Structure 1
């Protein structure tokens, strides 16, 4: 533990890198540790980020890392954090380097956790083959590109009807597939029908298509429903085992509870991005969230009220 930092940012997505950039500019000594396992790795293009609309998300992360690392008082490294423990000096962080980078064992005054979420897709054969190209999980991010196409919405969550009403603004040809679950109630189905949205309750056998793209949804009875694109409602979860020794408060969905500036219930520990309520955010929202947390953290170190 030869190195000590003002802040260690865990997670190198838009939230974490935005926090790191602003803290580096505040002349804080910053280390970013990123496991390099982004949730959007399968997505070819990201949208809605001002001046970067249509950029591949991996390129967005690379540019962010380069901007942060350009500051002499900031470092960015690929590493998986194993533990964060409170010590007299603040916090001790132990991480295993990945992609040939060294292991780290460092001290820091403060911590920003911005690791994002893990998503679990419904168990549908061939889903991964089309995920990130024809099938997406962010309606606001990718709805425009799917406008007026025959769309599928696949999911097994209680908010599926809400998602359908939102997606319908981009296409009048939308079918909701519950994959054999009963998550859409009869009143919700009636309301969707009034908006021209059909609900298909059969289990899905697979998604069909090939190099030409998605062509349809194959039902359990063998029927094929022609579709060329769509959205999936994943189950999201936080992966914060390294963080548990500090016992931060979590809400009923597992998200890290924060105040309006990103402070967790553990003094000196902040959280930003998708791991905070209400969960998944657009990239530009997560980046703004990271900047907001950086402002609060810097003022806390300086002893100035936010």
Structure 2
């Protein structure tokens, strides 16, 4: 059985380790005074923590930071996130607007604790952080993201209630296949459980009213070769609208072909003549229609004929809303 002295020592080491691993500063004198031990005792604890960390991460070091007047963890190599990394990740998170204000504050605080020059990063993102505007659904998502991610990995059937775009709520039993982020929102890709010929459906994560494992911990199975592939799906889909997977051909005469190839990763250039580029791309049809329309007269759909006809009909309906001037 541990003595009281040993218990206090263990508690001190764990408390120091907790602060060190968070990127905080350890002032030996302050700690010694608060814990009623000597500076040498705290120094020994720091050395023990450093030895432990170096077994896991040989590049790490617990050393004195003269500028900040205390000991801290220096992380190098595979253990490190540089200030440049932290700043870049913070910018992407702020621009994505995917998380609630509380979740964003918590994520940024965790990231900033890992920085060597926290003040500089705080100044650099200060304005965006102050005026951060999350999307309007107001839902906390981090726990949901983890729940659905684990359900995908473990192939667990879920009972869910889902609020559709028109406000109606419907109950489903789903097989979650993948989790993705696109255009401000997180999405769950799933099949309806028990369908003979299931198709992949897209559910917006924040619209789940309730979700839970099915009674009896039901599992579903998928052949490895036919598993859902997030990377491939992402290349073929626009705005998370599925529709029929098809190959389209179109002409593009706008100023930035690069932007087209970035938006449609499956696009292939067939030819370029007189400033007009002909491309083909294998995509899900419904979402890409919205993007094609957003390009105005820079784009002309060539094939398939049925797709071209649909585009003409949509343009005519749009024109009809403006009437005759």
TM-score by length of 2: 0.23
The structure with more radius of gyration = 2
Name the structure, 1 or 2, with higher relative contact order (CA <8 Å, separation 6+). Answer: 1
Structure number having the greater helix percentage: 2
Structure number having the greater strand percentage: 1
